[in-house]
């Protein structure tokens, strides 16, 4: 029966279980594992056939490049060359952790990983299970988020099972992930530092280290970036966003009343404190609207919960874009899909 689920306590790691997973990596297997952001679906990055298996299992388009995961900073220089000083400063400050750097690739990185680009994305995760798995595998591990392409990223082993059951070999179940949204992806182009995807490391912290940083606009298709597929991170339900401001609650209520009268099964994603206004409806609390960290840690789980309840429209309150709130709003906008105008 696929997959084998190996339950591991991140605070008291059973090395024997990680060795089994590392062996599977060496045998072209696909291993889902927890990182501090979301669960990843890993394969040996030096084995093109194993990497191809990732794309097949996720039904991921072959032109969407993968992140390579390493367990020590020195390995970055095997995979990337001409590393600019800002990139080096950033990895020294934030690794291990939720930061992915996009750099010029070396010949060690195959085209299937970089999908024909001259660059490679690299990250060193801090989750102890992820670190040990990469260390014992003794190869870089290629790993996208362990969901079916386009679905919300998995923040628990159950989410991975729901999407990839029967399609992968092992799941290392290390409990729910801490951060809940994916890593911040940053690229360096001719002296500019450009954030391609806001994520687990806040933009303000990156600016403290790298100085001037640009944020790629969500509709910018000139940059090969995670924004390339406008509809992403989507639950089965359609997502609609309701702007912040004094009218937010009234506006959301009127939309949900209308949708319900049209026969929709609506769900509401509310900021903490607003749930009482919506109590006659199916409401879930994302977190305090000013606390991006809490909202990030719950977002994908709640989107999936609405799906499992058969909700077909989720009306979500926009939250404050400070700190991790920026990543939360980026994911919600992508889930809502391109603006119809
Ligand atoms: O937190 C994370 O980053 C998780 C965990 C498992 O590490 N991984 C993750 O991978 O979110 P994935 O594949 O779901 O998202 C990585 C994004 C992709 O959308 C891809 O387009 C972008 O990073 N990416 C990868 N390589 C790139 C490159 N060379 N240039 C530009 N974007 C790249
Ligand atoms: Mg993904």
Each residue's pLDDT tens digit, 280-331 = 999 999 999 999 999 999 999 999 999 999 999 999 999 999 999 999 999 9
Q: Which of 228, 158, 148, 152 is nearest to 187 (CA)?
A: 228
**Mean pLDDT confidence for 119-146:** 98
Instruction: Report how far ligand 1's centroid is from the alpha carbon of 162 (Å).
Output: 21
The CATH number of the domain holding residue 286 is: 3.40.50.11030
In a domain, 226, yes or no: no
For residue 210, count other CB atoms closer than 10 A to its CB: 19
Within 10 angstroms of residue 246's Cβ, the number of other Cβ atoms is 7
Domain total in the chain: 2
Residues 151, 254: one domain?
no
Domain presence at residue 229? no
Domain membership of residue 250 (yes or no) is yes
Res 219 pLDDT > 80: no
| Closest C-alpha among 180, 179, 181, 144 to residue 163 | 144
Q: Is residue 228 in some structural domain? A: no
Co-location of 207 and 263 in the same domain? no
Same domain? 193 vs 258:
no
217 exposure class (CB count in 10 Å sphere: 0-12, 13-18, 19+): exposed
Q: Which of 180, 200, 215 is the last residue of a domain?
A: 215
d(CA 139, CA 136): 8
Please check whether residue 241 is in contact with residue 332, taking contact to mean a CB–CB distance below 8 angstroms: yes
Task: Find the residues whose C-beta lies inside 6 A of ligand 1.
Answer: 35, 37-38, 40, 64-67, 98, 100, 102, 114, 117, 119-121, 123, 143-145, 182-183, 185, 196, 224-226
Number of H helices, E strands in the chain: 11, 16
The answer on 257 and 159 residing in a single domain is no
Q: How many CA atoms lie within 13 A of 195 on its CB side?
A: 26
If asked whether residues 64 and 199 sit together in one domain, one would say: yes
Domain's final residue, options 174, 200, 215: 215
> Does 133 fall in a domain?
yes
Distance CA 154, CA 124 (A): 19
pTM: 0.96
In a domain, 13, yes or no: yes
Q: Return the closest-CA partner of residue 288 out of 325, 338, 257.
A: 325
Residue 122 CA to ligand 1 centre (angstroms): 9
Q: How confident is the model at residue 227 (pLDDT cuts 50, 70, 90)?
A: very low
Smallest-distance ligand from the CA of 61: 1
What ligand 1 atom has the least distance to the C-alpha of 120?
Answer: 29
Q: Ligand 1 center to residue 120 CA distance, Å?
A: 10
Quick one: tokens of 276?
A: 């009482």
CA–CA gap between residue 329 and residue 296 (Å, rounded): 9
Residues 252 and 191 in one domain: no
> What is the whole-number distance in angstroms between the Cα of residue 157 and the centre of ligand 1?
20
Q: How confident is the model at residue 340 (pLDDT cuts 50, 70, 90)?
A: low
> Do 125 and 270 lie in a common domain?
no
223 in a domain, yes or no?
no
| Span 167-176, average pLDDT | 98
Q: How far apart are alpha carbons 167 and 170 in whole angstroms?
A: 10
Helical (H) or strand (E) element with 55: helix 48-58
> What mean pLDDT is predicted for residues 181-202?
97
Identify which ligand lies nearest to the alpha carbon of 229: 1
Query: Which residues contact residue 219 at a Cβ distance below 8 angstroms, ignoring those fewer than 6 apart?
Result: 227, 230, 338
| Domain membership of residue 285 as a residue range | 238-336
């Amino acid at each position: 029966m696929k997959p084998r689920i190996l339950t591991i306590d991140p605070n008291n790691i059973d090395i024997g279980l990680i060795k089994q997973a590392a062996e599977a990596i060496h045998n072209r297997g696909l291993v889902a594992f927890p990182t501090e952001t979301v669960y990843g679906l890993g394969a040996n990055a030096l084995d093109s056939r194993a990497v191809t298996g990732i794309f097949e299992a996720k039904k991921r388009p072959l032109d969407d490049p993968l992140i390579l995961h390493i367990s020590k900073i020195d390995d970055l220089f095997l995979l990337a060359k001409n590393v600019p000083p800002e990139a080096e400063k950033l990895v020294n400050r934030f690794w291990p952790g939720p930061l992915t750097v996009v750099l010029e690739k070396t010949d060690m990185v195959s085209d299937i990983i970089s999908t024909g680009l001259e660059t490679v994305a690299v990250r060193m995760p801090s989750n102890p299970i992820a670190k040990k798995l990469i260390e014992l595998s003794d190869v870089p591990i290629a790993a996208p988020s362990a969901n079916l392409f386009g679905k919300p990223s998995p923040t628990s082993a159950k989410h991975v099972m729901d999407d990839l059951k029967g399609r992968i070999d092992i799941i290392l179940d290390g409990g729910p992930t801490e951060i809940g949204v994916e890593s911040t992806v940053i690229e360096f182009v001719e002296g500019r530092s450009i954030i391609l995807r806001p994520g687990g490391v806040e933009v303000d912290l990156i600016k403290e280290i790298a100085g001037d940083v640009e944020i790629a606009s969500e509709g910018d298709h000139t940059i090969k970036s995670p924004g390339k597929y406008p509809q992403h991170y989507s639950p089965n339900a359609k997502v609609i966003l309701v702007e912040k401001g004094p009218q937010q609650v009234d506006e959301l209520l009127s939309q949900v009343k209308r949708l319900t009268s049209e026969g929709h099964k609506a769900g509401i994603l509310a900021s903490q404190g607003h749930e009482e206004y919506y109590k006659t409806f199916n409401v879930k609390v994302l977190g305090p609207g000013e606390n991006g960290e809490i909202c990030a840690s719950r977002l994908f789980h709640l989107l999936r919960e609405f799906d499992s309840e058969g909700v077909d429209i989720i009306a979500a309150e926009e939250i404050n874009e400070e700190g991790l709130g920026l990543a939360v709003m980026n994911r919600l906008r992508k889930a809502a899909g391109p603006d119809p105008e």
